[in-house]
Amino acid sequence: MTKHFTILFFAILLPFLLFAQKHQVRGVVTDANSGETLIGATISYGDGKGVITDMDGRYYIKLDAGSYHFKVSYVGYLPQEAVITMQATDLTQNFQLKTLTLTEVEVVADVAKTRETPVAFSSVQPIKLQEELASRDIPMILNKTPGVYATQQGGGDGDARINIRGFNQRNLAVMIDGIPVNDMENGWVYWSNWFGLDAVTRSIQVQRGLGASKLALPSVGGTMNIITKGIDANLGASIKQEVGSDGYLRTSLGITTGQMKHGWGITFAGSYKQGNGWVDNTWTKGWFGYIRIDKKLGHHTLTFSAMGAPQQHAQRAYMKSIGTFDKSYAAELGVDVSKNAADYGLRYNSNWGQVNRWTYGPNDESGQPTRVYHSTENLTQSLNFYFKPQLSLRDFWRVNDKFYLSNILYASIGTGGGTGNFATTKSGAYNASTFITDSKGQIDYQKYYDENMTESILGKPKYQSMGIIRASMNNHRWYGLLSTFSWEISSAWNLSGGLDLRTYKAQHYAEVFDLLGGNYIRDNSNQNQSSFKKLVEGDKIYYNNDALVNWGGLFAQLEFKKGNWNVFLNVTAALSAYKRIDYFKKKDLLIDGNTYAMAVGDSDIFYYNGSKHLTYQFKRGDSTYTSYDTVFVKNGDSTQYILNATAYDNHSPEARTAETRWKTFGGFTVKVGANYNINSRNNVFMNLGYLSKAPRFTNVFNNANLEAQNAKNEIIEAIEVGYSYNSKKVALNIN
User: pLDDT for 662-685, tens place per residue?
Assistant: 999 999 999 999 999 999 889 999
Q: What is the pLDDT of residue 2?
A: 53
pLDDT in tens, 170-207: 889 999 988 999 999 988 888 888 888 888 888 888 99
Q: What is the pLDDT of residue 18?
A: 45
- Please answer whether residues 518 and 578 qualify as being in contact, where contact means their C-beta atoms are separated by less than 8 angstroms: no
DSSP codes of every residue in 525-549: --TTS-TT--B-TT-EEEEEEEEEE
Whether 298 has a pLDDT exceeding 80, the answer reads yes
Q: What is the pLDDT of residue 202?
A: 83
- Domains defined for the chain, CATH in brackets: 2-97 (2.60.40.10), 104-228 (2.170.130.10), 587-656 (no CATH)
Whether 648 has a pLDDT exceeding 70, the answer reads yes
620 — pLDDT class (breaks 50, 70, 90): very low
For the segment 445-469, the average pLDDT, to the nearest whole number, is 82
Instruction: Give how far Cα 128 sits from Cα of 35, 109, 123, 164, 609, Å.
Output: 11, 21, 10, 20, 74
For the segment 396-407, the average pLDDT, to the nearest whole number, is 91
631 — pLDDT class (breaks 50, 70, 90): very low
Q: How far apart are CA 381 and CA 353, in angstroms?
A: 8
Percent of the chain with pLDDT over 70: 89
382 — pLDDT class (breaks 50, 70, 90): very high
Q: What is the pLDDT of residue 56?
A: 77
| HSE value, Cβ hemisphere, 13 Å, CA-based, for 604 | 26
Q: What is the pLDDT of residue 429?
A: 80
| 654 Cβ contact list (under 8 Å, min separation 6) | 589, 590, 591, 648
- Please answer whether residues 197 and 676 qualify as being in contact, where contact means their C-beta atoms are separated by less than 8 angstroms: no
Percent of the chain with pLDDT over 90: 46
Whether 640 has a pLDDT exceeding 50, the answer reads no
Q: How far apart are CA 650 and CA 598, in angstroms?
A: 10
For the segment 108-124, the average pLDDT, to the nearest whole number, is 80
- The one-character DSSP state at 697 is G
- Please state, rounded to an integer, the average pLDDT across all residues of the chain: 85
Q: What is the pLDDT of residue 10?
A: 47
636 — pLDDT class (breaks 50, 70, 90): very low
pLDDT in tens, 584-617: 999 999 998 889 999 999 888 888 876 555 555 4
621 — pLDDT class (breaks 50, 70, 90): very low
* Across 36-45, 208-217, 245-254, 711-720, least confident range: 208-217
Side chain identity, residue 581: I
Q: What is the pLDDT of residue 629?
A: 36
Q: What is the pLDDT of residue 107?
A: 61
Coil, strand, or helix at residue 437?
strand
Whether 312 has a pLDDT exceeding 70, the answer reads yes
403 — pLDDT class (breaks 50, 70, 90): very high
